[in-house]
Amino acid sequence: MTTQRQSRRPVDLIAAARRARRRARADFSTFKVGAALETAEGAIVTGCNIENATYGLTVCAERVAMFKAISEGHRAFRRIAIVADTQDPTPPCGACRQILWEFGGDLEVILANLRRVTGRHRLSELLPQPFDARLLK
């Protein structure tokens, strides 16, 4: 099983995202990202970005973590930590924000680099007018 149980401290979640980042396949951009998603039960599911030559088929770390968590049966989430080797905060892209919202709701989003936390947000701050199932009724 790829999920791990750890303490619920944010530093553990960030450390898991940093470890996941090391497994990224960013052969073209060299921009490696790691994500660690905490489930409501306290499990941590990680993901890393995976690129290919077309770029369009690249999958971001945040989506890998969410899809992996869902495929393992998790349905409720608390927060996600996202790590990149940048000085400035590196928030999730639009596609990741949409997926995180649809499957995770108003998650806490912790942004960090290799040394420190660079930002903390609610997903609703990053995606203030989301499109979701409510609009399909």
Give catalytic residue positions.
Answer: 62
**CA dist list (Å): 130 to 15, 90, 120:** 29, 20, 19
**Burial letters 93-121, b for 16+ CB under 10 A, else e:** eeebbbbbbebbeebbbbbbbeeeebeeb
Closest-CA residue to 10 (of 125, 111, 126): 111
**How far is residue 95 from each of residues 2, 8, 12, 40, 52, measured CA to CA in Å?**
24, 27, 26, 23, 17
